[in-house]
Amino acid sequence: MTRTSEHVAAVTDADFDARVLASGLPVLVEFTADWCPPCRMMAPVLAELAAERAGELHVLALDVDANPRTQSRYGVLSMPTLMLFRDGEPVWTAVGARAKRRLGQEVTEALERGGVPGGGASA
């Protein structure tokens, strides 16, 4: 069961295309799992980022154990993997927990770059 908050909702295989790929706003997706300690560390970070950027960025969490189709589709092997989508395309990917400030900077830079696919990927 994916941990969600007021600002971070769960997304599933069934609604991923509609809620992420067809979104009018950029969408940051955390590929997560309940058994993943770094994922639990990211929950409050993502909730804060989502609250601060409400109206300009959606933040969603996808439980990889319950949604293997989307995990496989994007080649996600490690959790947490953070993937930023814009206009239906992944434009930035990062693996591992990060501080809110760093995550916010990376997302801003990816969006300012115009979102070069795979750009800014880091471990």
Let me know if 67 is a catalytic residue: no
Please pick, among 36, 66, 111, 121, the residue that the annotation labels catalytic. Answer: 36
Please pick, among 8, 11, 29, 39, the residue that the annotation labels catalytic. Answer: 39
How many CB atoms within 10 Å of residue 18? 10
Phi then psi dihedrals of residue 64, to 5 deg: -70, -30
- How high is the pLDDT of residue 6? 82
* Tens digit of each residue's pLDDT (9 = 90 or more) over 13-43: 999 999 999 999 999 999 999 999 999 999 9
| Confidence band of 115 (pLDDT split at 50, 70, 90) | low
Kindly tell me the burial class for residue 37, based on how many C-beta atoms sit within 10 Å of its own C-beta (0-12, 13-18, 19 or more).
exposed
The CATH number of the domain covering residues in 8-112: 3.40.30.10
How much is the pTM?
Answer: 0.89
- How high is the pLDDT of residue 2? 53
Domain boundaries along the sequence of the chain = 8-112
- How high is the pLDDT of residue 4? 61
Maximum pairwise Cα distance, the chain: 34
* Tens digit of each residue's pLDDT (9 = 90 or more) over 47-103: 999 999 999 999 999 999 999 999 999 999 999 999 999 999 999 999 999 999 999
The token pair at 28 is 């940051």
Q: State the Cα–Cα distance between residues 19 and 101, nearest whole angstrom.
A: 26
Question: Where do runs of H (alpha helix) occur along 80-121?
Answer: 100-112
Q: What is the distance of C-alpha 91 from the center of its chain? A: 11
Let me know if 97 is a catalytic residue: no
